[in-house]
Amino acid sequence: MTAQCIESSFQFQPLGNRDVVARFDGGDITSDAGGLLLRKVEQRTGIVRQFAACFQDRRKPELIEHTVKELVAQRVYGLALGYEDLNDHDQLRADPLLANGGGQERPQRRVPPA
């Protein structure tokens, strides 16, 4: 007799008030689940936070939408997941898992090009 080891979902550490669950029902889909591991490494080591602290932010605070840490995290996660071109990030910002890795509870809506 063979064991039945079929899981319908996997629970990960939550982000804020949102549960992070891997399911196989065809809902929101990502091919970059390794981002969850990267988020866990960042939580334990703070390496992205430390790297971001190396930069001076000389932008006008009233015009800032994303912190330096968020921008550095986006770039580091993108590189680690194989997205070396910055033009990929416009599409990736709508990915729920990458938003989660960057610490955002919801992905940003993709803005269509003008």
What integer pLDDT is reported at residue 60 of this predicted model?
95
Q: Which residues does residue 11 pair with via DSSP β-bridges, in sequence order?
A: 21
User: Can you give the pLDDT at residue 51?
Assistant: 94
Residue entry with tokens 């949102």: 18
Q: What is the pLDDT of residues 5-63, one digit of tens each?
A: 666 777 877 777 877 777 767 666 666 677 778 888 888 999 999 999 999 999 999 99
Where do the domains of the chain lie? Answer: 44-106
Q: 18-23 and 9-15: which strand pairing?
A: antiparallel
Contact yes or no for 72/55 (Cβ under 8 A): yes
**Which pTM value belongs to this model?**
0.60
Q: What is the pLDDT of residue 54?
A: 96
Please tell me the distance from the alpha carbon of residue 1 to that of residue 9, in angstroms, as a whole number. 24
Q: How many CA atoms lie within 13 A of 13 on its CB side?
A: 12
pLDDT tens, position by position, 55-95:
999 999 999 988 999 889 888 888 888 888 877 777 777 77
